[in-house]
């Protein structure tokens, strides 16, 4: 299982390096998926090589088993031909190939067990990568939302730290003061109009109460005065 131990160490080292240098979460996640798939391809190559070695051992095992059987048949043939010397040689060869067959079988069984474990590990790795692929878009969406919130908070913090808000507040106060002054001026104007109206009414009553000084009145008074003088002279 050293293959996948090395794989995990390599992936972990790459991930730690990428995370420490990460500035763009979306780019990093895509790169991580690419990195995983590259490692998966390499792992598949090594598993394929292990399978090839297994098949080679199996082929050698079967070959030695067949050769052992062939030499046994030759020994039988030699016995039938009254060639015990050849029969002995054939039995020796049969024994040799039989022993090879046993050794290759042990190696094949061990390699077969290793290959099965590697296949299972490879399947698990594929499942992990598939899961990471499915989660990638969700993580990207979450990263974008978090980045947007972070930028908004930074912007608000930067604006709050400037004099723009203070100036805005002062302007709002100034506008409010202008409104109050306009309302006061309007109220004063209304008071003046009321006073003028009251003064006009008073003048009208004064005219009614005071004697008239119109030209007609003065002429009438003059005539009365002249008539009085004439009466005295007569």
Q: How far apart are CA 183 and CA 229, in angstroms?
A: 67
- For residues 64 and 97, the answer to whether their CB atoms sit within 8 Å is yes
Which among 2-6, 106-110, 162-166 has the top mean pLDDT?
106-110
In terms of domains, do 133 and 78 share one? Answer: yes
Mean pLDDT of the chain: 80
Residue 172 inside a domain? The answer is no
The tokens for 120 are 């299972």
CB 119 within 8 A of CB 47: yes
Q: What pLDDT, on a 0 to 100 scale, did the predictor assign at position 14?
A: 56
| Domain-embedded: residue 169 | no
Residue ending a domain, choose from 134, 161, 188: 161
Angle subtended at Cα 63 by Cα 57 and Cα 66, rounded to the nearest 5 degrees: 145
pTM score, whole prediction: 0.53
Query: Cα separation of 127 and 218, whole Å?
Result: 125
As a whole number of angstroms, the distance between CA 163 and CA 179 comes to 24
Decide if pLDDT at 149 tops 80.
Answer: yes
| Judgement on whether residues 74 and 108 belong to the same structural domain of the protein | yes
Residue with tokens 């099965």: 116
The count of structural domains within the chain is: 2
| Phi, psi angle pair for 95, to nearest 5° | -65, -40
79 plus 194 within the same structural domain: no
Cβ neighbour number for residue 15 with a 10 Å cutoff: 14
For residues 136 and 25, the answer to whether their CB atoms sit within 8 Å is no
Does 145 reside within a domain? yes
Residue 161 has pLDDT above 60, yes or no: no
| Predicted confidence (pLDDT) per residue in 115-138, tens digit | 999 999 999 989 988 888 888 888
- Which domain, by its residues, includes 211? 177-228
Q: How far is CA 134 from CA 37, 78, 171, 172, in A?
A: 14, 70, 53, 52
User: Does residue 1 surpass a pLDDT of 50?
Assistant: no
């Amino acid at each position: 299982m050293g293959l996948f131990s090395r794989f995990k160490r390599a992936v972990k080292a790459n991930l730690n390096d990428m995370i420490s240098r990460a500035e763009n979460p979306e780019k990093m996640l895509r790169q991580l998926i690419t990195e995983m798939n590259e490692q998966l391809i390499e792992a598949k190559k090594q598993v394929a090589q292990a399978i090839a070695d297994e098949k080679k051992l199996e082929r050698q095992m079967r070959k030695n088993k067949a050769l052992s059987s062939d030499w046994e048949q030759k020994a039988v043939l030699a016995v039938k031909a009254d060639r015990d010397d050849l029969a002995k040689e054939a039995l020796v060869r049969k024994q040799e190939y039989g022993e090879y067959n046993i050794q290759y079988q042990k190696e094949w069984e061990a390699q077969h067990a290793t290959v099965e474990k590697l296949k299972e590990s490879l399947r698990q790795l594929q499942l992990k990568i598939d899961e990471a692929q499915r989660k990638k878009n969700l993580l990207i969406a979450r990263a974008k939302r978090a980045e947007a919130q972070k930028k908004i908070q930074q912007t608000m913090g930067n604006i709050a730290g400037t004099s723009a808000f203070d100036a805005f507040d002062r302007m709002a106060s100034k506008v409010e003061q202008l409104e109050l002054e306009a309302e006061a001026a309007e109220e004063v104007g209304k008071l003046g109009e009321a006073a003028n109206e009251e003064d006009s009414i008073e003048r009208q009553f004064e005219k009614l109460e005071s004697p008239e000084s119109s030209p007609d009145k003065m002429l009438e008074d003059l005539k009365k005065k002249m008539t009085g003088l004439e009466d005295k002279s007569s």
